[in-house]
Structure 1
Amino acid sequence: MAVPIRTAAAALCAGLVATLLTTVPARAGQREHTWTVSGPGRTATHAPHARISLDDTTGTVSLSVTRDRRTVIEPSPVGIVTEQADLSKDLSFLHRKDRLVDERYRTKSGKRLERRALMNETRLSFATPTGARLDLVVRASADGVAYRYVLPAGLGDVLAETSAFRLPQDATAWLSTYRVDNEGQFAQYTAATAPTGDYSPQALFATDGGYTLLAESDLTGTYSGARLAHDQGTGTYRIKLADDRVRTTGPLATPWRAMVTGDLATVTRSTFTDDLAPASKVPDPGWIRPGTVLWTWLAGGRTAGQSLTAQKAYVDYAAERGWPYEAVDAGWYFKSDEWDTTDPNWQTNSWMPDLVDHARAKGVGIIVWIHQRDLDTPEERAQWLPTLERWGVKGVKIDFMNSEAQSMLQWYDAILAETAAHHLMVDFHGSTIPKGMQRTWPQVMTLEGVAGEEKRTNTAAHLTTLPFTRNIIGSMDFTPGAFQRVGLRPNSDAAETGLAVVYESGLQMYAGTPQSYDERPLARDFYDQLPAAWDDTRLLAGHPGQEAVLARRDGDRWFLGGVYAGTARTAEVPLTIGAGRWLVETIRDGTGGLVQDRQVLRGGETLDIDVTDNGGFAGIACRWTPGISTCHR
């Protein structure tokens, strides 16, 4: 529940102090033209600082970010152009307003369930010579800086932003070429040497000020999705909108342009893009239950999707393992005798209610795949969504949006409200990425927007970059566990097992076959233990493109996952999960398959694990006391 701003004396004092410390006095005869906003709290000296400057000659505004007095983002242009006004130049300063944002909220999935959004906010108001108004709203927290534009009604459609991010040219960059489905691979460059082109807005840079991930938040159908446009030889990444014209009908608040920044552990653990988003619009989220899923597409494809017998067998296997969901992918309603949806009894032609009843008796929920084109109109949604709810389906996997244009974002607005009304959890594929969506609409358990397990060209370097790029933004449906795809994936079996921890997803969809799990009982039994919602997340070791070792806590147990790119080695992992003695069970690659090791370590000691080429590991750590021989329950 949100804590009202300025209701406590401490909050009021903090806001006043922030105002006094961040306002630069005007010199005699000159208007104030520089402002600084930094994160609140005891860590403010180490938090990022945003510096906003108004050039008195050109009337242009720029924003830069520093951390520990080191450059994170160089002075970068800020501005927006509409039909009626160019709000990127000839601006004069009007006034400033400050407040402290302090909100506590609880999520249904993600890196941790209990959250606190604590940010200083500064609103700077500007005007053009003709009186057109622009408010620049800047927020700073302990792990990020963000800004958005707020425009009054009457300025017409948005034609472009002049927003950009200027990085030091030698900053290391991990970038993914932009695709409408957000399924590009991440590759390493420097900020200046990256080829000319468009890139995903989720871009990671390393500078002497630490790591910075560029991102968006609170993207809805009132606006247009963004990508980063870059010209080789520069460190500048410009905001390029998906639409040439963004339709507006009244006042407008654009999405947040966010910079998640800090050391790598801080950036990896950050929930900044969720913190910026509006509060939940689902009043009673008790029906939303994250969990692990047996997903059958890579196990049997469309043929399995057309077979009630095959699907019942998958449900039985999920029930045997204690996995709470089974997902039926494409094929279940695209049959040779395709339904006549003009017939009011068309739903009775499906075997899906039979499967749902069978699964319910086994304690398993059903999630169904459906193409976006079959939910494209209000009439189609009025046919499908109430029917799926009546059958008892628990969630929908909606595929092939493949756009972040304003019209598609308006469709997202509609489907989000309607799936919530019909108590259907959601997994989006061929989609945008979360961008705060999971806070506002907690029934969204996961989204694809990633070059995931289905891809045949993924590299081990890509797999070790995702925890520091795409998965920072929100739940990621990579679909790990496809052990049967030997030769089609770049990693080892132990690394594949560990991906289910390394990658966070509110619906963690296992992509293997029952036979492949039974042939690897250590991996199968590890999956039996895994939750899909976490109390905490920590980065134990990592470097994008080389290694990623994460620990995620469920109650009093920590689950460990590690993935590596490159040659075999003995990995040294700091066990920074708390003081005391821990029983650590790990699964690694052996000469004849997966093997398990057990050892007792003190918190802070080093966990040594032998890792194969492009390998990894999985593990569980629990408090050790005499007589405890396993962490499994």
Structure 2
Amino acid sequence: MNKHYAGILLACFSVNALAALPVTLKSPDGRISVTVDSKDNKPVYSVSYQDKSFLETSELGLKTSLGDISKDLTYLSHETAKYDEQYTMHNSKVSDVHYVANGMTVRFAAQHDLALDVEYRVSNRDVAFRYRLSGPEDFTRVKVLSEATTFNLPDDATTFITPQALPETGWMQTKPSYEEPYTFDEPVGTPSANGVGYTFPALFKNADKGWILISETGVDSRYVGAKLAEGSKQGVYPLAFPQEGENAGIGGTYAAMAMPAQTPWRTITLGDTLAPVVETTASFDLVKPYYEPSMPYQMGRATWSWIVWQDDSINYDDQIAFIDLAASLQFEYVLIDNWWDQRIGRDRMESLVKYAAKKNVGVLLWYNSNGWWNDAPQTPQNRMNTAPARREEMQWLQSIGVKGLKVDFFGGDKQETIKLYEDIITDANDYGLTITVHGSTLPRGWERMYPNFVTSEAVLASENLVFHQTSLDQHAYNATILPFTRNPVAAMDFAPVFFNKRLSRDQKAGTKRSTTDAFELATGVLYFSPVQHFGVTPNNLEEQPDFVIDALKSMPTVWDETKFVSGEPGKHAVLARRHKDKWYVAAVNGEPEAKTLEVSLPMLKGKPVQVIYDKPDNRAGLSKTEIPASGKINLELNAEGGALIIYQH
């Protein structure tokens, strides 16, 4: 059996039809407790960590075309199980995962002889639950119109969450594109910017008790992508389905399913520090691969002319320059963005792909997802939205040697839209193509479910650093938010590392960068994406010292381990990642004042390391040192500065 498909071991399975509610399930280490109960004949649950409340009494249930399966329910029984699984990821922040959890399924009887099962899994850092609805044989299908699910945060909790955008707003009516800024330590119940709730994942600070990250996984073409509705001042955030206007009104806002029906998993990661949040694997623990990869897909680094040189760079000669840059940096890929079909042409693209192959560089090509659901004019259009056109196009791409696609402008979470994602990704596997998506929703377990899926934007990404000075001014601050919010649950195609002082081709115009060079280099490790599209340009080869270029040449994009070292949103972030026997420690300062950080690196105590640090002029310097036996080292960070520690055995 392929090691990516390791089996699951179930043990100590038991059924109890006599016990009354409430029933409690604990994590293997006993620190996390989930209690399921009934209140006014409605199922409810609560979550605690080390006997401290993290989610207060919260509601459960479904509202369906077969009736309201959230009230007038009768407890029938519950059963428990233990889960022990080992699996391997080839495209993640961790490679070998050992998932151990306790499970409990609580069954309720509903009207019309329907049964609602609420299945829970609790590991040492995550809680997950989902619903199963079953009934008589003549109930063959159901529409899940909404859910009664709520997350009741403590009243004194604060938020680090990103608001949902209104449909058909923004540039060329392409929203929601999941590119809104995060709240910062706001009280629960503060109205969102657009009045339509918040996007997953959602981070909450439980006062001085710890942190809670709420998200979902296992969303595929059989359901919708969900979000959080507006919260109350008592901290109650209902789960919400897509808005009617998403994807230009195509499709319903409900999930249409065959019976028995099963929902995706809702995940809750919690702990007294941010370590469980950074290190969680809940997105992958609860799903399985849907198919075998058609080939061994290679992850890696890519040059990308468009991010700094913009649309004018989509021509044959400039793409030759960025292929040559990728070869010089020993990068695996070059990404060629929008308009290539018009400004380069298909015949010349074939020759570009051949030229890149001779340089050992693979080509990734941009596509518009569009049929007609937004006004984005970029081409190629109408090649990804229907199966005949898509498969014809992918066959041609395979024939000329293209390695993967970046597909843009989706604009919604309806079932119809989720199906489009799934269709593009699964068709691409037939032709040996990887898929990256932009203008897109959060991947919900997709890196494991679809082996050729690579990464998603779903963040206020680096293009905004080029478009808006205010975004660039917030660049360092946001680098202390995203590692604890968006990036823990899924790959994030932020596209990091900019060395140009002004983000333009000639560096005489454009937005002005205030972050240090060491900060920029550190973001290549801090932000996780298995294919990382870098903001470097050909001039950087001459402008940066050899040790910076060497660090780029050897920088991994997939990892065997990821560890939280220290950090606090808005202040600083320090993460450690290991690839084989090589450790990288990335540190960034999100504030406009210099600071000294004492970081603890027990995995490196007594080891010789290289430290790329901030010089007074904001250029990068290099020092070699040995981590003391204590495992602790001080890092001096400039304002909006950073550092990168590298160790290789």
TM-score (normalizing by structure 2): 0.87
- How many positions carry a matched residue from both structures? 589
Deviation at residue 588 of structure 1 after TM alignment:
2.2
Letter in 2 for 1:53: D
Deviation at residue 5 of structure 1 after TM alignment:
4.5
Residues 3 and 527 of structure 1, relative CA distance in 2, 3 Å threshold? closer
1:496-547 residue CA offsets vs partner (Å, 9 max, x unmatched): 1100010111001101211134312343221111011111111111112211
Q: How far apart in 2 are the matches of 1:295 and 1:312?
A: 11
Secondary structure at the aligned position of 1:287 is classed as: coil
Q: Which residue in the other structure is 2:213 paired with?
A: 213
Secondary structure at the aligned position of 2:398 is classed as: helix
1:417-450 residue CA offsets vs partner (Å, 9 max, x unmatched): 1111111111111111121110111211211101
Q: How far apart in 2 are the matches of 1:478 and 1:488?
A: 19
Q: Which residue in the other structure is 2:536 paired with?
A: 512
Q: Which residue in the other structure is 1:630 paired with?
A: none
Deviation at residue 401 of structure 1 after TM alignment:
0.8
Q: Which residue in the other structure is 2:519 paired with?
A: 495
Deviation at residue 130 of structure 1 after TM alignment:
3.2
Letter in 1 for 2:23: W
1:250-285 residue CA offsets vs partner (Å, 9 max, x unmatched): 3321111110112311221111111112x2234246
Q: Which residue in the other structure is 1:274 paired with?
A: 284
Matched, 1:367 2:364: yes
Out of 121-130 and 382-391, give the one that drifted further. Answer: 121-130
Deviation at residue 388 of structure 1 after TM alignment:
0.7
Contact 2:202 2:485 in 1 (8 A): yes
Secondary structure at the aligned position of 2:204 is classed as: strand
Contact 2:391 2:427 in 1 (8 A): no
Q: Which residue in the other structure is 1:482 paired with?
A: 498
Matched, 1:418 2:427: yes
Q: Which residue in the other structure is 1:540 paired with?
A: 565
Q: Which residue in the other structure is 1:466 paired with?
A: 482
Q: How far apart in 1 are the matches of 2:578 and 2:638?
A: 26
Match of 1:356 among 353, 357, 361: 353
Contact 1:261 1:267 in 2 (8 A): yes
Out of 583-592 and 221-230, give the one that drifted further. Answer: 583-592
Match of 1:184 among 157, 180, 183: 180
Residues 473 and 252 of structure 1, relative CA distance in 2, 3 Å threshold? same
Secondary structure at the aligned position of 1:350 is classed as: helix
Out of 532-541 and 600-609, give the one that drifted further. Answer: 600-609
Q: Which residue in the other structure is 1:343 paired with?
A: none
Letter in 2 for 1:192: V
1:341-388 residue CA offsets vs partner (Å, 9 max, x unmatched): xxxxxxxx4311111111111111111111112300112202211111
Deviation at residue 102 of structure 1 after TM alignment:
2.2
Match of 2:274 among 258, 264, 281: 264
Letter in 2 for 1:319: A
Structure 2 gaps of 5+ residues are 166-175, 243-251, 371-382, 503-510
Q: Which residue in the other structure is 2:609 paired with?
A: 583
Residues 603 and 480 of structure 1, relative CA distance in 2, 3 Å threshold? farther
Letter in 2 for 1:45: G
Letter in 1 for 2:236: T
Match of 1:326 among 331, 334, 351: 334
Out of 507-516 and 281-290, give the one that drifted further. Answer: 281-290
Deviation at residue 473 of structure 1 after TM alignment:
0.9
Q: Which residue in the other structure is 2:99 paired with?
A: 117
Q: How far apart in 2 are the matches of 1:294 and 1:160?
A: 43
Q: Which residue in the other structure is 2:447 paired with?
A: 438
Secondary structure at the aligned position of 1:614 is classed as: coil
Q: Which residue in the other structure is 1:81 paired with?
A: 63
Deviation at residue 221 of structure 1 after TM alignment:
1.6
Deviation at residue 461 of structure 1 after TM alignment:
2.4
Letter in 2 for 1:130: H
Deviation at residue 620 of structure 1 after TM alignment:
0.6
Q: Which residue in the other structure is 2:508 paired with?
A: none
Letter in 1 for 2:154: P
Contact 2:597 2:635 in 1 (8 A): yes
Contact 1:124 1:136 in 2 (8 A): yes
Q: How far apart in 1 are the matches of 2:66 and 2:354?
A: 58
Matched, 1:226 2:212: no
1:198-248 residue CA offsets vs partner (Å, 9 max, x unmatched): 111211112254211000100112111111112452311111101533222
Matched, 1:37 2:61: no
Deviation at residue 606 of structure 1 after TM alignment:
2.4
Q: Which residue in the other structure is 2:11 paired with?
A: 12
Secondary structure at the aligned position of 1:577 is classed as: helix
Q: How far apart in 2 are the matches of 1:3 and 1:320?
A: 39
Q: Which residue in the other structure is 1:346 paired with?
A: none
Contact 1:483 1:517 in 2 (8 A): no
Query: Percent of aligned pairs with the same residue?
Result: 29
Q: How far apart in 2 are the matches of 1:547 and 1:140?
A: 30
Q: Which residue in the other structure is 1:401 paired with?
A: 410
Matched, 1:429 2:417: no
TM-score (normalizing by structure 1): 0.89
Residues 556 and 603 of structure 1, relative CA distance in 2, 3 Å threshold? farther
Q: How far apart in 1 are the matches of 2:477 and 2:17?
A: 45
Secondary structure at the aligned position of 1:523 is classed as: helix
Match of 2:576 among 551, 554, 559: 551
